[in-house]
């Protein structure tokens, strides 16, 4: 049992109590980066990036339970361990953020964490963004997509994408989102997480920004057979040189016959794209301690 608390918030890991009547459940999903360019460092310390974000079916489970007045809002977390203080968790921060402008009752969040952290899959960002959407729906706040995206941007750079949660060309530090169409019918993805955590600030220190490259916006209606030699993640070379497990994971995907394979975000998860579902024998080649997901790319 782990417990961290403050005057009005708490985070704990333990048994999930029986759901009460006023509840809502959702399944925050991961994303992968189809190409990732670090364009320039900003005066505020962030970086301008350009990428295509693709939602995938690797999910957490998040439930809201409305409490009575006088109780403390809380997060009960299960599954993968969540580091850090409870009040800093994006889910609780989402509730606190909305409470600044709306009168909300206390809530208890139940999170089953399955998306690996420090993997470049955006799982924590998805949890925070989904919390905003769920609170908006639960309490009938009537917020527009644009309003929810602006709130999500206050939580983190990747959070706004998960408000609409559709394939998108993403620029700025992640807050400028332009939905696009991709031709992914029939395509299959395998994601490997080699069980290592890569700090995002550390990874950014390994790359040099470059603002003199063609835009990724031209990949509208493309599919993985169009991406080799054109889509590129700026972090991949730097990370694979320093983290052998990531290099090994990419080699496994390439040996499986992936048409396109790369790292997501700043790592450490990697993904491969296949024209059909790969034979299930690939799972036997995965080292112990790694986690995996596979599924259709047009889910």
How far, rounded to the nearest angstrom, does the alpha carbon of residue 191 sit from its chain's CA centroid? 13
Q: pLDDT value at position 229?
A: 84
Q: pLDDT value at position 84?
A: 62
Q: Which CATH number applies to 2-31+56-164?
A: 3.30.230.10
Question: Where are the alpha helices (H) located in 41-187, listed in sequence order?
Answer: 90-99, 123-138, 145-155, 161-164
Active-site residue set = 31, 158
Average pLDDT over residues 246-273: 98
User: Tokens at residue 245, please?
Assistant: 């497990």
Q: What 3-state DSSP class applies to 77?
A: strand
Q: How far is CA 205 from CA 6, 129, 198, 199, 208, in A?
A: 34, 27, 12, 10, 8
Q: pLDDT value at position 207?
A: 93
Mind listing the pLDDT tens digit for each residue in 41-96? 888 878 899 999 999 999 999 999 999 989 999 999 999 988 765 778 999 999 99
Residue carrying the six token digits 């509730």: 95
More confident call, 12 vs 39:
39
Average pLDDT over residues 237-251: 97
Q: How far apart are CA 269 and CA 246, in angstroms?
A: 7
Query: Is the CATH number 3.30.70.890 carried by domain 188-296?
Result: yes
Q: Where are the domains of the chain?
A: 2-31+56-164, 188-296
Average pLDDT over residues 89-112: 97
Q: Which of 18-32, 122-136, 189-203 has the lowest mean pLDDT?
A: 18-32
Among 6, 13, 141, which residue's Cα sits nearest to residue 83?
13
User: Tokens at residue 45, please?
Assistant: 């310390």
Q: How far apart are CA 219 and CA 169, in angstroms?
A: 9
Average pLDDT over residues 275-299: 94
Average predicted confidence (pLDDT) for the chain? 90
């Amino acid at each position: 049992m782990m417990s961290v608390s403050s005057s009005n918030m708490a985070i704990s890991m333990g048994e999930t109590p029986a759901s009460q009547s006023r509840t809502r459940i959702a399944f925050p999903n991961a994303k992968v980066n189809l190409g990732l360019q670090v364009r320039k460092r900003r005066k505020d310390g962030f970086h301008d990036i350009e990428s295509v974000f693709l939602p995938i079916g690797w999910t957490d489970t998040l439930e809201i339970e409305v409490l009575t007045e006088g109780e403390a809002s809380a997060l009960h977390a299960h599954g993968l361990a969540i580091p850090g203080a409870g009040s800093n968790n994006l889910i609780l921060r989402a509730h606190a953020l909305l409470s600044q402008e709306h009168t909300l009752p206390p809530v208890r969040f139940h999170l089953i964490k399955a998306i690996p952290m420090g993997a470049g899959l955006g799982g924590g960002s998805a949890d925070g963004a989904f919390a905003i959407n769920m609170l908006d729906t639960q309490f009938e706040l009537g917020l527009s997509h644009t309003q929810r995206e602006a709130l999500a941007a206050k939580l983190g750079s990747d959070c706004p994408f998960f408000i609409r949660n559709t394939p998108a060309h993403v620029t700025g530090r992640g807050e400028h989102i332009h939905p696009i169409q991709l031709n992914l019918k029939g395509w299959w993805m395998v994601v490997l997480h080699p069980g290592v955590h890569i700090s995002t600030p550390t990874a950014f220190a390994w790359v040099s920004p470059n603002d003199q490259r063609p835009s990724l916006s031209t990949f509208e209606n493309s599919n993985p057979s169009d991406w080799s030699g054109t889509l590129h993640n700026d972090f991949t070379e730097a990370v694979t040189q320093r983290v052998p497990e990531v290099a090994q994971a990419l080699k496994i995907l390439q040996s499986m016959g992936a048409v396109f394979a790369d790292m997501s975000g700043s790592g450490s998860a990697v993904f491969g794209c296949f024209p059909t579902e790969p034979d299930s024998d690939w799972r036997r080649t995965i080292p112990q301690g790694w986690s995996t997901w596979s599924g259709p790319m047009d889910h």
